[in-house]
Structure 1
């Protein structure tokens, strides 16, 4: 969103001004914001006076609008006598005045049906892509999902001696992928120790990730030392001590960018969307922004220049984390669109989808 700088740059002064808004000022401000969210157009005092519950002349409305502008909540575009909310105003509206209802039965049914269909016979990543596309279709924005790359479950492990001091650890996953890693061997390790270590691990790794096996070997340290000699036990610990390949690897899925072109109202909107597309292509920055939504519970809303990623395109992000069966946050999903997103509808939609996805992951044992 483009807007003039608030008249009160001092945060304390601005906070005081917001706290001092009376009911009439809040109602007029609400009308300005809701008109903007519905149409994207500036609204003038004459139109607002017609919308108010209590009669008020256009002149009196203009006086209140002047106070709201001084507080940094609204501004006058140079092309119109009407007013639009500033980003500060939108943030105040979202935090203090937005009334978020529950999803309708129809919306819940649509989300549940599409999520069930997405999970049928598809791998996890494909299901997430479907979830992103679903959010895009329901919100008319761009649906986004970012998730950690999951470590594959293991099928087989083997130790292959290369020379007296080095071996190759061969990790075969259930999905058919193979990883080879070099391992330094303890001095004096007998050849039989490689076979014993592999047998010990293969009896326990099926269906588990490398991280799972690593945690289990710590728990089984005493039994390892009873069943195996000390050098073989050390070999097992070293063989699974490698960091998991998927750690800190993040994957971004974006669907529905075309929706952002459907409601253009001016050439400046086209330029804004062009800048947003450039932002989305900078995947690292989008992933970092979505990662910030993992910091707290529930839905997070990022508006315009509050984050550097959208500082030029004037866009907003509504995002919520989802969890696996162990209640660990494994990703974030959300909706990106213009700052005049229908927050009252999209916030509960994103929240419900994230919770539904979490329940599906829990039910699948992920």
Structure 2
């Protein structure tokens, strides 16, 4: 994951500048201290400290190095670290011992996938020296049962039971006017008509029914409008209402009274389905993704920190294409051991993808 976009491409650096820049960054990553020209000259760069110092000043003008104090050495900026990771970092393969340890800890007998996610967080925290984070996958399976529990005037808990037996609780914000009775009616309707469908499929089905009923409403209202007994109010289609004139005349006209009752019923159906669609949108956007912190450090701000993340993916059964279902990563100081952590995160992500498959 990018720290910051670099202000200078690697192509702008000649061989001498690249060599000095690489030595400065590698020394900083190892020690965490500002790096002076004499330190660089002793690390294998066969140039005088004055020549090295001039080059380091040029690198500072490019935004790749900075000096915390006038008399101290130089530190790589976030832009400099980004450039180093992208173009100069040599990343080897993860040692076989680490691979075996990761696989054994994630694929232990009798371990659930949730337990494997927690273990992945602990692995990254322990081996990487940073805070391990794991985002659980957002599943899109058929819903067997749904229930809404009102927690207050503007908040509810959606309990989703999926066809594969998983149970998921989502804390969701409620739109104005969504009463507990509306939530109960919504639960009953969805459990009766939309069982086995995913949330997105349920929404699409309701949307199609909504459009069909709007057409039926227009047809039912047409007769009343033609006879002069009703007229559409102004405003857009979503907000308009049917204004009925001469209600007394309807008492003696059986067909007109039936048409009016049909229009009233269709209005109620439309309102109910629109509420259901809004509710499904609220569920889909609710807090269903969790983050596990595998280290004790509390990172309230990412300022001055680095994030190394990788997605874990599954293969689509029909197309074979990979689909991202979650992500894992490490948060730590900018002075992370990138050469070790990058292959560590990558391999752990691949094992999690295999577990889901």
With the length of structure 1 as denominator, give the TM-score of the two structures. 0.58
Q: Where do 1:1-366 residues align within 5 Å?
A: 14-15=7-8, 18-52=10-44, 55-78=46-69, 80-117=71-108, 120-122=110-112, 124-150=113-139, 154-155=143-144, 174=165, 181-183=184-186, 205=196, 243=280, 245=283, 249=287, 250-258=289-297, 277-279=299-301, 310-311=302-303, 314-326=304-316, 327-362=322-357
- Structure number with greater CO (CA < 8 Å, separation at least 6) is 2
RMSD: 4.1
Equivalents in 1 of 2:169, 2:334: separation in Å? 46
Deviations 1:296-337 (A, max 9, x none): xxxxxxxxxxxxxx23xx000001111234333221110000
Equivalents in 2 of 1:68, 1:155: separation in Å? 61
* Alpha-carbon contact 1:42-1:80 (below 8 Å) kept: no
Of residues 353-362 and 143-152 in structure 1, the stretch that sits farther from structure 2 once superposed is: 143-152
With the length of structure 2 as denominator, give the TM-score of the two structures. 0.60
Equivalents in 1 of 2:104, 2:168: separation in Å? 33
Larger radius of gyration: 2
SS for the counterpart of 1:324 is strand
Q: CA 1:84 to 1:320, structure 2 compared with 1: closer, same or farther past 3 Å? A: same
**Unpaired runs of at least 5, structure 2:** 148-158, 171-182, 208-268, 317-321
* Alpha-carbon contact 1:148-1:246 (below 8 Å) kept: no
SS for the counterpart of 2:56 is helix
